[in-house]
Chains A and B, each alone.
Chain A
Amino acid sequence: NAGVMQNPRHLVRRRGQEARLRCSPMKGHSHVYWYRQLPEEGLKFMVYLQKENIIDESGMPKERFSAEFPKEGPSILRIQQVVRGDSAAYFCASSLTLDSRNYEQYFGPGTRLTVT
C-alpha cells in the first residue's frame, strides 16, 4: 500500500511564475490536508479538502493560492505569481476517516519550493 505521494520533491521557480504541487493520498483516503512549513518552524494548516470539495481553507492566503481535489487525479495546490516569501516546504496529508476520535493523518514527503 503506497503512502502519500507528492511531486515534485523540489521545485524552483522565479518570482512571478506559477507553482503547481501535486498530492496523491493513500489508497482509500478521501480526506486531504495541505500544510506549509517555513524554515525553523512547525507546520501551519492551509486547507482541507474532500473529493471535489473544499471544506476549510481558513489557513490559506486569500490571494494567489488555490487548491483542488478533483474526482479523478491528485490534489493540486497552486500558487500564482510566486514571491520569495512563498519559499517553504509544503506537506500534504491524508486520512481515512474524520469521525474517529483516534484518526491519524499520514504525511507525504513534502515539496520544497524555492523562489529565486
Chain B
Amino acid sequence: AQKITQTQPGMFVQEKEAVTLDCTYDTSDPSYGLFWYKQPSSGEMIFLIYQGSYDQQNATEGRYSLNFQKARKSANLVISASQLGDSAMYFCAMRGPDSNYQLIWGAGTKLIIKP
C-alpha cells in the first residue's frame, strides 16, 4: 500500500536557521510525484514544491528545496534562512501510483520559528 510518513510531529527552530522536515514514502510504482504543502494557522493549503520520480535534479523554489533520495525513498523539505512567517503545519504528499490524481498525505509536521 502507498504510504507517506512524517516522523516529526513538531519542531522548534531559531529564526534564520535552516530547517529540514522529514518525509519518507512507500510505493512500488516507478512513476510518482511528491509534493510539499504549507498550512498556516488560517487553514488554507499552500503548494510549495514538487518533485517527479524521474527528475534528475532536486527541486528548488526560492528558499525551499527538496532533498530527494530515491534509493532511501525520502523527500525531505529544506527551508533556508527560516522566517517567523514560516511557522505552520507542513504536509508531504504523494501522487497515488494507481492513478495520477489522488494525493496521499502524511500526518504533517508543526513547525514553530522562534524569534
Interface residues of A (CB under 8 A from B): 31, 33, 35, 40-45, 48, 56, 59, 89, 91, 93, 95, 98-99, 101-110, 112
B91→A91 contact, CB < 8 A: no
**A-B contact sample (13 more), CB < 8 A, given A102-B33, A107-B45, A110-B44:** A31-B101, A33-B103, A42-B106, A48-B102, A59-B102, A99-B100, A101-B100, A103-B100, A108-B44, A109-B42, A109-B43, A109-B44, A112-B43
CB nearest neighbor in A for B43: A110
B contact residues around A107 at 8 Å (CB): 37, 44-47
A contact residues around B43 at 8 Å (CB): 89, 109-110, 112
Distance between B110 CB and nearest chain A CB, rounded to angstroms = 9
A102→B52 contact, CB < 8 A: yes
B103→A105 contact, CB < 8 A: yes
| A41-B107 contact in complex given A101-B33, A102-B52, C-beta closer than 8 Å | yes
B contact residues around A91 at 8 Å (CB): 45
B103→A45 contact, CB < 8 A: yes
Give CA–CA (A91, B100) in the complex, Å. 19
Most chain A CB atoms below 10 A, which of B42, B50, B105 = B105
Taking a contact as CB atoms closer than 8 A, the residue among B52, B102, B105 that contacts A101 in the complex is: B52
B contact residues around A33 at 8 Å (CB): 101-103
B contact residues around A105 at 8 Å (CB): 47, 101, 103
A56→B45 contact, CB < 8 A: no
CB nearest neighbor in A for B100: A98
Give CA–CA (A1, B26) in the complex, Å. 36
Taking a contact as CB atoms closer than 8 A, the residue among B31, B37, B101, B104 that contacts A95 in the complex is: B101
CB nearest neighbor in A for B102: A45
B contact residues around A106 at 8 Å (CB): 47
Give CA–CA (A107, B4) in the complex, Å. 20
CB-CB nearest 10 A-B residue pairs: A42-B105, A107-B45, A109-B44, A43-B105, A45-B102, A42-B107, A110-B43, A42-B106, A42-B91, A42-B108
Which residues of B (68-115) have their CB < 8 Å from a CB of A?
Answer: 91, 93, 96, 99-108
